[in-house]
Every structure is written in structure tokens, then in C-alpha cells.
């Protein structure tokens, strides 16, 4: 539960969001082990018992986190009013991509995209690389598990939009450059399937008529395979 609570705090603190990327997990594990030792010292019989959570003894000292991790890394997005953030590692050189969004049925505003090359110590606003576009909150940023340098951002369509197309932004170099692509269909973001053997191949379905679409160049072009498809998946032997 503590890990979940930490994640929620990170999401709701914008615009003065403080994040600790890799070290956040380390801090949680470290503090958790200390709390566990404290419980064992108070109860030598190792029997389980409930503690009074309203007691002042449960409140950590003000500098509790700093004592645990005096060298932790923080970054504040002070000029960003979007209330939701997604973070992902990209590539193997300490690059982190951060996406902030505000999309709902009635209100939306341009997303912001950030890139860190030093494991979260600093972030550069690279929103111009995606034309200051509107990106989905849920499933809007997906990383290719075969090559994490390759990331797709999915444009946001309002619930009552009559558009039959989806705009995506793809990068092959961990966010250094992006390509803007207008799909020939409106994609069901939850249906995207990466190929485990060929990093350039993608499967996806449309939101209407169950259309199955195939891309062999990481989203740059698409071919309609069949309509009225129920479910899709790659053959494990298909590269």
C-alpha cells in the first residue's frame, strides 16, 4: 500500500511536482526495511499485532527521508499546469521521457513532453518535437519492449469526435527526434501489439468494425489486413 500511495502522490503534486526517479524505489525499500526492524524490536515474540496509527509515535521526524537518502535527486515541473504525468525509461543511457497531460470529456489542453539524459537530475521541455500536440492520458505513451529507444505517443481525440484518424508520434532514438504520422484509421490504443522478434512490426485494431492493421516500419505506414476481427496477437514464431 505504501508503494501505491507514493505513486499517487507523484501524480497529484503538479504543477510543483517533485520526482525522484530511480532513487524513489530505493528510498521506499530502505525505509520499509527500517520500519520492519523497528516492529521486530518492539515485539520480541514476532507475533502480529495492530498499532495505533493515530499515535504520535507513528509520525516520522521531519527530516526522516533526508536522513535515509541525503543525495536523492528531485525535479520540479514549475511551469506545467497539467495534472497527470507519465514517466518511462527509454534506451540504456539514463534517458527518461516524461509526459504531462490534461484530457477529459469537457476540458483538455496541450500536453508537455520532457526528456532527461541524466537519470532525472534535469529535464528539457521537448514539446515542440511533437508540435505541442494533445496526447492521451491513458496509454498515450508506449515503449517498444524489444527496443526501448522506440516509443509511440498517441494523440487524444475528444469522446464525441467524428474523426476517423489518429495522430501518432514515433521516435527511434529515445526522444531525440519524433515523426508525426496520421493513421488511416482511428486506433484502439489498448490493442497495440509489438512483435517480440522484429522491433519494426506492429499490430493494431480500429475502434470501429474491428479492423486489423499491420505496420512493418514502426507505424510509418499501415496495411489493412481484415475487418471484424475479435482479438489479435502475434504468432510466437512470427518475426
> Is-contact 142 151, C-beta < 8 A?
yes
* Distances, alpha carbon 69 to alpha carbons 8, 26, 29, 119, in Å: 21, 9, 11, 16
Query: Distance between CA atoms of 97 and 116, rounded to whole angstroms?
Result: 6
Residues 6+ apart with CB under 8 A from 100: 14, 77, 80, 82, 84, 85, 86, 111, 112, 114
| Predicted pLDDT at 41 | 39
| Predicted pLDDT at 187 | 95
| Predicted pLDDT at 237 | 82
The pLDDT tens digits along the chain (239 residues) read 434 333 333 333 333 333 433 333 323 233 333 333 333 333 444 444 444 444 444 444 444 444 445 567 777 888 888 989 999 999 989 999 999 998 776 777 899 999 999 989 899 999 999 999 999 999 999 999 999 999 999 998 776 677 789 999 999 999 999 999 999 999 999 999 999 999 999 999 999 899 999 999 999 999 999 999 999 999 988 76
| Predicted pLDDT at 7 | 36
| Predicted pLDDT at 45 | 41
Cα angle vertex 76, ends 73, 80, to 5°? Answer: 150
Q: Is the dihedral of CA 160, 166, 169, 172 positive or negative?
A: positive
> Is-contact 227 211, C-beta < 8 A?
yes
Q: Facing residues of 101 across strands? A: 84
| Predicted pLDDT at 193 | 97
| DSSP character at residue 59 | S
Q: What is the grid cell recorded at 105?
A: 470529456
Q: Facing residues of 25 across strands? A: none
Residues 6+ apart with CB under 8 A from 227: 209, 210, 211, 212
Q: What is the pTM of this model?
A: 0.69
| Predicted pLDDT at 239 | 64
Backbone angles phi, psi at 237, to 5 degrees: -100, 0
Amino acid at each position: 500500500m505504501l508503494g501505491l500511495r507514493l505513486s499517487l502522490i507523484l501524480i497529484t503534486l503538479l504543477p510543483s511536482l517533485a520526482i525522484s526517479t530511480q532513487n524513489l524505489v530505493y528510498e521506499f525499500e530502505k525505509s520499509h526495511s527500517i520500519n520492519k526492524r523497528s516492529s521486530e524490536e518492539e515485539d520480541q515474540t514476532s507475533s502480529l499485532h495492530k498499532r495505533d496509527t493515530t499515535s504520535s509515535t507513528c509520525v516520522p521526524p521531519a527530516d526522516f527521508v533526508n536522513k535515509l537518502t541525503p543525495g536523492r535527486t528531485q525535479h520540479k515541473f514549475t511551469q506545467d499546469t497539467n495534472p497527470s504525468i507519465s514517466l518511462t525509461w527509454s534506451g540504456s543511457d539514463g534517458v527518461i521521457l516524461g509526459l504531462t497531460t490534461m484530457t477529459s470529456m469537457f476540458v483538455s489542453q496541450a500536453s508537455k513532453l520532457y526528456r532527461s539524459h541524466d537519470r532525472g537530475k534535469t529535464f528539457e521541455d521537448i514539446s515542440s518535437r511533437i508540435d505541442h500536440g494533445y496526447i492521451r492520458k491513458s496509454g498515450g505513451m508506449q515503449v517498444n519492449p524489444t527496443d526501448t529507444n522506440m516509443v509511440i505517443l498517441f494523440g487524444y481525440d475528444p469522446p464525441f469526435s467524428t474523426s476517423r484518424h489518429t495522430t501518432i508520434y514515433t521516435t527511434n532514438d529515445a526522444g531525440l527526434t519524433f515523426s508525426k504520422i496520421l493513421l488511416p484509421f482511428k486506433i484502439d490504443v489498448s490493442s497495440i501489439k509489438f512483435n517480440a522478434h522484429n522491433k519494426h512490426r506492429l499490430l493494431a485494431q480500429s475502434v470501429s468494425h474491428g479492423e486489423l492493421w499491420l505496420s512493418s516500419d514502426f507505424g510509418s505506414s499501415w496495411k489493412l489486413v481484415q475487418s471484424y476481427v475479435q482479438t489479435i496477437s502475434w504468432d510466437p514464431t512470427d518475426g
